[in-house]
Amino acid sequence: MKRDPYANNLQVRPDGTLRHFLSIEGLDQALLTRVLDTAESFDAASQKNVRKLPLLRGKTVLNLFFEPSTRTRTTFDLAARRLSADVVNLDINASSAVKGESLLDTLRTLEAMRSDLFVIRHPQAGAAEFFARHVPEGVAVLNAGDGRHAHPTQAMLDLFTIRRHRPDLENLVVVIVGDVAHSRVARSQIQVLNLFGVRQVRVVGPATLIPSGVEQMGVHLYSSLDDAMVDADVVIGLRLQKERMRGPLLTSSEEYYQRYGITAKRLTLARPECLVMHPGPMNRGIEIDSEVADGPQSTVLEQVRNGLAVRMAIMALTMGAGPGLATESGQ
């Protein structure tokens, strides 16, 4: 899995602890398991109505969103506050981008203000890594989505959600449906599911929305969703990123729904308790039927909830503040 050896150095400290969180690639199962376990402990605290933990008291988190987002930004914001950090949100559009400052100068300027943790979403692949290469020791960078490259916190919260229901990851067949070509979520999901040794990851979608050579990512390509659903334990619908598509990749929403929509009928082809997942926001009636989205097998809202705990865990660990960290040995 380590085609990207430098990433390992960038994301992990010599003592094996997490320094940045940029992509699944370059991280190993032991470290990511620690993320999941830390998230479990935060979620347990939250269930007991412990709403604020003092782990990041006095730390400053900068949320840098170069793309708009309600959901993801709010989750990072809330996660940081529950760790008692100060949070500054920056939507970089109407501000320094207006004045034409380079990304590196923006970064250096913000860094000079002595922030401890940057959360960055950016339309260009590699933006978070670029930041990580330029911040000093002690400052962490979290990738909240960079172009089509990666969205690793989403993949981790998906894995967290699956593991809760099905700790026997090695037995699972997971189906990913939809616009894989434009999805940073799918890329990160495929990586993490393979790293954790799920039995099979299947990918299905319109030929124009499946990247060529996708099998080299360690997935099985299907052309029919009905076929892919057979024996599935988990089905993940991807958001149809309309705004990312150029030209006539799709004929119509209706046709998409006919062929790739996750419907109640299709769900009967899968294993009885097959989980239905979606990173949101959902296009109901296109990627997924409302009956399924709101049904008992859907984990859509649970994913959002888990996103908080997982992001808290990643923030705490990169800041060297995870609970129980002292008693755990390095990677």
Residues that bind a copy of itself (CB under 8 A): 46, 51-52, 57-60, 62, 68-71, 73-75, 77-78, 81, 86, 88, 90-92, 94-96, 98-102, 105-106, 108-115, 243, 280-284, 301-302, 304-305, 307-308
Residue 154 DSSP SS3:
helix
202 belongs to the catalytic site? no
Give the CA count within 13 Å in the CB-facing half-sphere of 147: 7
How big is the CA angle at 176 (ends 171 and 179), to the nearest 5 degrees? 165
- Active-site residue, from 19, 20, 72, 106: 72
Residue 209 DSSP SS3:
helix
72 belongs to the catalytic site? yes
121 belongs to the catalytic site? yes
CA dist., res. 183 & res. 145, Å (int): 10
Q: What's the count of helices (H) and strands (E) in the chain, helices before strands? A: 13, 9
Q: Hunting for tokens 């559009």 — which residue is that?
A: 93
Query: Which stretches does DSSP call E strand in the chain?
Result: 60-65, 86-91, 117-122, 140-146, 173-177, 200-204, 220-222, 234-237, 275-277
- Active-site residue, from 59, 151, 239, 266: 151
Q: Are 294 and 64 in contact (CB under 8 A)?
A: no
CB-nearer residue toward a copy of itself: 3 or 51: 51
- Active-site residue, from 2, 57, 71, 265: 71
244 belongs to the catalytic site? no
CA dist., res. 271 & res. 53, Å (int): 39
CB-nearer residue toward a copy of itself: 218 or 280: 280
Q: Provide the minimum distance between the beta carbon of 94 and a copy of itself in the complex, in angstroms, as a whole number.
A: 5
Longest C-alpha distance within the chain, in Å? 56
- Active-site residue, from 99, 114, 246, 327: 99
Q: Provide the minimum distance between the beta carbon of 331 and a copy of itself in the complex, in angstroms, as a whole number.
A: 27
Annotated catalytic residues are: 71-72, 99, 121, 151
